[in-house]
Amino acid sequence: MNDVRRAKRDDIPRILELLVQVDMTHHRGRPDLFKGPATKYNAAQLEEILDDDATPVFVCEVEGKVAGHAFCVHKQIVGDSVLTDVKTLYIDDICVDEAYRGRGIGKALYRHVIDYAKSLNFYNVTLNVWSCNPGAIKFYEAMGLKPQKIGMEQIL
């Protein structure tokens, strides 16, 4: 059974391992942009993130071991001249350990995030995905996500 729950400080070493896997996925796809191996947050930053209800992190345990995580951020821009005040739940990071992929754990994490967002009356769930990560794009498409905006570049 896939058990999704809020992450605790004890999970930090395991979350750091998963963050390396995300970074290496990006590093393999765009070594010009992503250092590898690296983690976007260190242990001290993770403690702050885990303690903050505005940045909930969920983990999925399989047989007592954390197999994946989903980082979320509550976002709302209030009083902008053009943007409405909608409340958005932004998925900052999602990863399933490579040994556990293809078993529905990413889906269980995503569903949990959607249920959480609905329970708090968020308008939408958003995230960014790199074009060099086609597997993640396929996963998000399978979850029903649609492109909202497109980041473009021309390398010089």
Ligand X SMILES: CC(C)(COP(=O)(O)OP(=O)(O)OC[C@H]1O[C@@H](n2cnc3c(N)ncnc32)[C@H](O)[C@@H]1OP(=O)(O)O)[C@@H](O)C(=O)NCCC(=O)NCCS
Chain residues that interact with ligand X, rule: CB under 6 A: 21-22, 25, 94-96, 101-107, 129, 133, 135-136, 138-139, 142
The nearest distance, CB 24 to ligand X, in angstroms, is: 9
- Which residue of the chain is nearest ligand X when measured via CB? 106
Nearer CB in complex with ligand X: 85/141: 141
Nearer CB in complex with ligand X: 95/117: 95
The nearest distance, CB 13 to ligand X, in angstroms, is: 18
Alpha carbon distance 89, 37 (integer Å): 28
The nearest distance, CB 121 to ligand X, in angstroms, is: 25
The secondary structure of the chain, three-state, reads CCEEEECCHHHHHHHHHHHHHHHHHHHHHCCCCCCCCCCCCCHHHHHHHHHCCCCCEEEEEECCEEEEEEEEEEEECCCCCCCCCCEEEEEEEEEECHHHCCCCHHHHHHHHHHHHHHHCCCCEEEECCCCCCHHHHHHHHHHCCCCCCCCCCCCC
Nearer CB in complex with ligand X: 36/82: 36
In sequence order, the β-bridge partners of residue 3 are: 61
The bridge status of strand 3-6 relative to strand 124-127 is unpaired
Nearer CB in complex with ligand X: 86/142: 142
Nearer CB in complex with ligand X: 40/87: 40
The nearest distance, CB 31 to ligand X, in angstroms, is: 16
The nearest distance, CB 129 to ligand X, in angstroms, is: 4
